[in-house]
Structure 1
Amino acid sequence: MKVILSKDVKDVGKVGDLVNVSEGFARNFLFPRKLAAEATEKRVKEWEHLKRVADVKKKKAVAERQAVLAKINGTTVTFKVAAGENDKLFGTVTTADISKELDKVGHSVDRRDIHLEEPIKVLGQHKAVVRMGEGLEAKIMIAVERA
């Protein structure tokens, strides 16, 4: 029996998958728990349509992310912070700080997309990578100067 999953089911599939399961499993487990719906002709057509719409949206989102990363790639973000002896900072420069600075320049990037090799705790030039999923990434430089 073919069913369309409404929720993730372990060892069966993920939400929106069209899967073939035994009738007993569908009637006794999936349907009562509202984990799936029977794949009627109408539902299958609706599922295919929704899948096509989702693919178009995904391609558009990936194109937008590529455009943002192309603008950001090679950008240098400068911070003026207080530092003590041996060029050690009082605190650190975090991904949230980098995100705010990129926002000021006009590039909206979530802090969770910014990845640092190591925490920034000293003055100087540092590298960061902005990863937006699916192999899309851009390298940026962080310049930390004494205030």
Structure 2
Amino acid sequence: MAAMKTNKRTRSRGGFSLIETMIAMLVLGFGLLTIASAQVYAGKSAQAGRHRTRAVEIAQTQMERLQSLSWNDADLAATAWTPNVDVVTTVESTSAQTAMTFSRQWRITNAIANQTRSIDVRVGWTDAHGVTKDFTLSSTRFNFEGL
């Protein structure tokens, strides 16, 4: 008789109860939600990175153009910020390519008269949330032609 009671006890403790299964499902659900929200955040961060990368490319292209000009070129004369020039380009998103407008402007200042000039190129854009962002690339140009 005592052996029979022991078997019943071990059989009743042998599996998972409904409560244990529900708790395990709850923990798994929270884990999956956390992973899903991290994936959404990673996608948004990647898109912001693509926008910033495109802005850097636009600024670098303009900087290289200005650096390649002759010292006496009119486009390299000292000036305040130029009016914005819109640059429409495509930016890859997670599902397709999206047309986006960046604004580009530059400023040239004489650092040391007839020897060096500071060049600043600023690129601005509006992100998907309507927040205005900008990137400024700065460089100094030396007058090698005056040597």
Higher helix share: 2
- Choose between structure 1 and 2 for higher RCO, CA contacts under 8 A separated by at least 6 residues: 1
Per the normalisation by structure 1, the TM-score is: 0.33
- Of structures 1 and 2, the larger Rg is shown by 2
Per the normalisation by structure 2, the TM-score is: 0.33
